[in-house]
Each structure stands twice: as structure tokens, then as C-alpha cells.
Amino acid sequence: MSIRVTSLFPLPQEKLTKKLENYLNILDIASPLHPKHKLELPYAIRDLSNMLTEERSNMPKDYMSEPRSLNAYLRYFLPWNLYRMTRLFQGLEINIPDDGVVIDLGAGPLTVAQALWIARPDLREKKITFVNVDRTPKPMREGVKLFEALAGNSKWRHINVKGGPSSKIREKADLLVTANMVNEASSGTRTPLPVWASKFCQQLSRMLAPNGKILIIEPGIRRSGRVLSVMRNEFIEHGCSILAPCPHHEECPLSGDQGKSWCHFNFDSDHAPMWLQKLSTRCRLEKTNVSMSFLYIAQPGTAVTEPREGEMLIRTISDSFRIDDGGFGQYACAAQGLILLLAKGGARSIFPGGLIGMPQPEEMADDVKSGAKIVELPTRLVHKDKDQDKD
């Protein structure tokens, strides 16, 4: 049996890297900064960063309508989100039909549409309608200007809707995306998380076309991982197919519940635009990596990747780390539960997000520290994506 590996976060292609590097010019064209705002930009970015992390409970819902916060978001958080999403969109199988509809809940400055345009040139010639939904219209208006500066005379059409998940939208989504919204929405309610998740998942499902899919993208923090794990259970109970990142429909071993680890992926920031890395340094917000949690769901009956006979499918989650007796270890997820992959001798560990199909060992010992099943990586792997193995 051949051993295969596919990557979820492939390294950016050269054209993608150039698009992101040129994005500062797009910002200057579509949303130029007043000299005063340019001077205070690092301070505004730091203040907004504090609001989004430490002071989130006191943050006004319409903070993006305030010029100082909006400028900080467009110049710092938007480009970093573009980098994160373009890495993911390269690796996901996203098929939108001609005359298809994308509903973007919590659209902000149209980050999803811009990231799709950059990462997926195969979709650019299709007629796609983006229904952008947000409670604050101003960021969406800025997003339209940015998209037009980025894409020029595009076949993609944008409809901006002031509202939220409960809004009645006429169009049905071939792809429904929520990015950086679920954690915020779930933490702002006193409703128990399972009850909230049940209602929210029903709201999302009602917006789908017959073959529509849902993509939920969140920061890679424990709270996000926990919320997505509960939502995953809800979707599975209703017969939906989990396309990614899960390689199975069994109990989630990385639920983030009661001190458990949570499902999230880190990948390096080395390929982010140099201007963005320099700006981060000026703001004292340097990044060595970026992280995300996400869930990609399809309607009941949709086919998912299945293991071949005698094979197990393993999704790598953590980065690799040195182990005491030589080589590297790496945590991963499979239908058999939490997996500790060991790369020894000539074996090489896999980038986070890699999906490995390999023969299932006859016996798997338990790791004393984590309780994970121990699986040794073979010395030779067949990669579908280049440059995705590592020491």
C-alpha cells in the first residue's frame, strides 16, 4: 500500500506572494491615510489589539465604524487575515459554480472575497455573487473599494446587507463563510454553549443551497477550538459531512473541554509580506507564526475522504518537537483518537495540517504523558504537494 500525504496549508505560490506584497499599494489607492492617521497608526493598532484580546468584553459592537479603529484594522488585521486565509484557501477544495452565491457573515472589509480572489485564480472567470452581511456597513463599503482596486473589472458582484445570522436573505449559499465571528457571537450570550450552537448551526444550514457548504474560520485560541468542537458535534448529529480538518466523524480528541488540548494549526509567518512584518515590528506585535481553527461542513450525504482497506487517515495538528530518545514527535488526529507521530531515523515530520494515509499498525502503544496512540512515520512518503515535509 502506498503512503500518501496532502497538505492543508501549502506554501504560497509566487503569484500569491506578489499579490500580498503589493497589497500595501491597494490600501494606499483605495483607502489612503491622512498624514495624522499615518503617524499614529502603530498606536492605533496596539490599542485595537488590546481591545480585541484583553478588553473584548467592553468593546463596542460598532467599533469598526470609528475611523481610528477602522484604519488600524485595514492596515494590520486585514492583511494578516488575508495571509491566513489565502494559505487555507489554497489547500481546501472549494468549488463554486458559475452564477454561484457566497454568503459572508460578519464580512467586515470583505476579507473573504479578497482572499479568495488572491488564492484561487481558477474562480476569477466565474460569475459569483457575494452577499456580504455585517452589522456595521462602513467596513463593507471600504471592502468594496479595496476589492475593486485589487480585482479591477471583475465578474464577481457584491451585495452588502446590514444584519447578522438571523437576517432573512433571499439568496441561498453555495458557500457560506463566517470568519472571526463565531467566537465573538458565542461569548456574548448567557445561553449554554450547546444550546447556542444548536440554534446557530440551524441558522447557518437554512441559508444553504442544496449542495452548499459552510466554512467557519476562527483564531486558533482555546475558546474557538471549544466552540467549533461543539458545533462539529451538532452538525454530525444532523447527518452533515465534515470535510476538513477532521479525517473522521468519531469523537473529537481535541475538544478543548476541561483543560484538554484544542484543534488549531500554526504555520510560519516567514512568507507574509515584508512590509507587514516590518509594521508588526514597529507596533511591537511581532509574529513568528500565525494560527487558526476552522471547520468545513457539507450537506448530509456528501462524500468525504475515506481510508482505504487496512489504512488509517491521520491529520497532523501540532508542529514537530524533539523527543528524548532522538527524532521528532508531533500530535495528530485520527478515528482512533489522539495520535503521537514519531519521526525517527530517516523519517521526516509533516507540516501541521498534513493528511497522511498509511497502513494501520497492528498494535499502537499509549504515550504515558498524553495518552495518545503512538504511530511511527515511515521513512518514505508520497507527497501530492511539494516541499511539505520538514526536519
Mean pLDDT (whole number) for 38-47: 90
Q: Cell for 31? A: 483607502
Which residues in 94-103 are b (16+ Cβ under 10 Å) and which e?
bebeeebbbb
Q: What is the mean pLDDT of the chain?
A: 90
For position 54, what pLDDT does the model report? Answer: 64
Asked whether the predicted pLDDT for residue 56 surpasses 60, the reply is no
305-350 pLDDT, tens digit per residue, is: 888 888 999 999 999 999 887 789 999 999 999 999 998 877 788 8
Mean pLDDT (whole number) for 227-255: 95
Place of cell 450537506: 299
- C-alpha–C-alpha distance, residues 301 and 299, integer Å: 6
Q: Which residue has the higher pLDDT, 137 or 390?
A: 137
Q: Cell for 296? A: 468545513
Neighbours of 193 (CB within 10 A): 16
Task: Give the DSSP letter string of 9-67.
Answer: SPPPPHHHHHHHHTHHHHHHHHSPPPHHHHHTHHHHHHHHHHHHHTTGGG--TTGGGSH
Percent of the chain with pLDDT strictly greater than 90: 67
- C-alpha–C-alpha distance, residues 283 and 45, integer Å: 7
pTM for the model stands at 0.92
pLDDT band at 389 (very low <50, low <70, confident <90, very high): very low
Nearest to 19 by CA among 179, 132, 152: 152
- Give CA separation, 215 vs 130, 180, 319, 338, in Å: 14, 11, 23, 24
Asked whether the predicted pLDDT for residue 351 surpasses 60, the reply is yes
Asked whether the predicted pLDDT for residue 388 surpasses 50, the reply is no
For position 55, what pLDDT does the model report? Answer: 52
pLDDT band at 138 (very low <50, low <70, confident <90, very high): very high
Q: How many CA atoms lie within 13 A of 196 on its CB side?
A: 18
pLDDT band at 57 (very low <50, low <70, confident <90, very high): low
Lowest mean pLDDT among 44-53, 166-175, 193-202, 307-316: 44-53
- C-alpha–C-alpha distance, residues 120 and 339, integer Å: 32
Q: Cell for 385? A: 504537494
Residue type at position 38? K
Residue type at position 78? L
Asked whether the predicted pLDDT for residue 161 surpasses 70, the reply is yes
| Contacts for 28 with CB less than 8 Å, ≥ 6 apart | none
As a whole number of angstroms, the longest Cα–Cα distance in the chain is: 66
Asked whether the predicted pLDDT for residue 166 surpasses 50, the reply is yes
Residue type at position 374? I
Q: Which residues is 376 bridged to in the sheet?
A: 342
- C-alpha–C-alpha distance, residues 117 and 94, integer Å: 12
For position 382, what pLDDT does the model report? Answer: 56
Place of cell 498624514: 35
